[in-house]
Structure 1
Amino acid sequence: DRLSLIVTKGEEQYLDSVTISAKTVYDRMRKGEVFSTSQIPPGTFFEKFEEYARNKETVIYLAFSSELSGTYQAAVFAKEQIQEEYPDFDLTIVDTKAASLGFGLIVLEAARLAQEGKTKEEILEVVDFYLDNIQHVFTVDNLEYLYRGGRVTKTAAFVGGLLNIKPILNVEDGKLVPIEKVRGEKQVYKAMLDIMEARTKEADLPNQLVGISHADNYENALRLKNMITERFGVKDFMINDIGPTIGAHVGPGTLAIFFMKKNYK
């Protein structure tokens, strides 16, 4: 099951990728609209967890990074409430410290293992490995959106736009952290691949599934895919849209790559 985060515009609230699409958010952002986001309410978790508890199911809930959203804390609160009524309910909540497709790759692997009939302990062992090794590297097209979200100063956003400076960021201990500034689009892709190479010294990269996410920027996502294939021999990719929740903060044009520092066994 998937629970959606909330995207807000004024009085209007939308469920991420359910009642509003990423494309709609990006089109409206380009026209100057500003969106905010909010966590899944504890009540939503309580209802879902109660359903599982009544059915005596064993549940692993993988939460979006606690440093980027209050969703993990809301889930923990709901668990405490539900276990007062169902003390034997077997629920494990994991703070993935991941976001976007980095989070998605962890969820997909856990779901695959569950479908194969693996035990809770076996699934959590693999999830822990992913948490230690998943890498997020991304760049934004326009610093204005990071400024609106308080990630960069107004001066940095203005100067960056003037000089065509592209920041490269990653997720570190669940937080969004700038790691490099590069001038020009061509150079930023090369720099992202340099980071990828430096972080995969112990990996069998050609035999990994590499994720690429884009904010209404499919053409450049394909360009990045081709560069990764040419440089590293990677064959398997997952390319998807950056959803409205992340997109509301990073803005249209953003590109991100996701990979593992090490392959799992």
Structure 2
Amino acid sequence: MPPVKIVTDSTADLPEELYQRFGISRVPLKVLIESQIYRDGIDITPDEFYTQLRQGKLASTSQPAPGEFASMFEELTKDGSSALCLTLSSQFSGTCQSARLAANMIKEKARVDVIDTRSATWGVGLMAIAACRALSQGKNHDEVKELVDSLILKMRISFLVDSLDYLERGGRIGKAQAFLGSLLSVKPLLSVKDGIVCPTQKVRGKNKGLERLVEIVEQEVGEAPIICAILAGADPEARDILHQKAKERLNCQEIWLGDVGPVIGSHVGPGACGIIYYSL
């Protein structure tokens, strides 16, 4: 049985160590800061990115060209392998469409299935990790694809932002448009549903927001075991607080701590933090 390769775009936000450990390949999106172009996760670290963002520099992003995906797919499948490519929600970016065009370009040479995860950041990353673990247990291409499809329905993202300005400016605000015009001290609590940003509620102050994030998960999963990732942009203290609350109150079988990378960070801002999880 030929091997199966797992590919993501760079918005999966996994650290380099995990890409290497699980053998996950990635195709980078690009971040434009003033006149400088960076490859997400390759040319710029989250710390470097948020430093520039907090200096008042404006950031924008662009998707990979189909040819960039095609080159990756051809390299990974030249030994007879097939590939599964997990991408950022197609509602957020044309990245999925680029990957699908690329898969079509090489369809006579290799099987590549592109999956719109309808998720973002570690939502994509957690699916990729689960896919790699399933492959290590002997699952084949179709079985792993079925697993990822099931995780799409189970994956949850709840997050807090300091401001909606970044989402609005980047055009990714989705249904959270309803929260525009909030008072300065009110923090928007948001979620990702069916691949788009949705409003959850407004909370007064970040500490209350962090408490509410954990309450939301408690209400959804109860005592059911979950796998989760706790993320932050440029606010590691908030991540640590959220991590502690999650350990104390949720049945976390596995907790990953991570960064919101430059591409996603350019749309949610440096103060973003959140929890991404699915029930086992």
TM-score by length of 1: 0.88
Matched, 1:217 2:217: no
Matched, 1:81 2:102: no
Instruction: Name 2:211's counterpart in structure 1.
Output: 190
Matched, 1:107 2:128: yes
Q: Distance in 2 between matches of 1:80 and 1:117?
A: 27
Q: 4+ runs of 1 displaced by more than 6 Å? A: none
Unaligned runs of 5+ in 1: none
Per-residue deviation, residues 25-67 of structure 1 (Å, max 9, x unmatched): 1111111111001111111012122224432211111111111
Matched, 1:237 2:255: yes
Per-residue deviation, residues 196-246 of structure 1 (Å, max 9, x unmatched): 122214x623xx222101002111111111112222353631001111010
Indicate the SS of the match to 1:160. Answer: coil
Q: Distance in 2 between matches of 1:254 and 1:62?
A: 23
Counterpart code for 2:103: K
Matched, 1:142 2:166: no
Q: Distance in 1 between matches of 2:232 and 2:186?
A: 19
* C-alpha contact 1:64 1:96 (8 A) present in aligned 2: yes
Change (3 A) 1:49 1:165: same
Q: CA RMSD in A?
A: 1.9
Matched, 1:45 2:69: yes
* C-alpha contact 1:102 1:136 (8 A) present in aligned 2: yes
Indicate the SS of the match to 2:27. Answer: coil
Counterpart code for 2:221: T
Sequence identity, in percent? 33
Q: Distance in 2 between matches of 1:14 and 1:111?
A: 28
Matched, 1:167 2:188: yes
Counterpart code for 1:45: F
Instruction: Name 1:62's counterpart in structure 2.
Output: 86
Change (3 A) 1:148 1:109: same
TM-score by length of 2: 0.84
Q: Distance in 1 between matches of 2:88 and 2:145?
A: 16
* C-alpha contact 1:143 1:160 (8 A) present in aligned 2: no
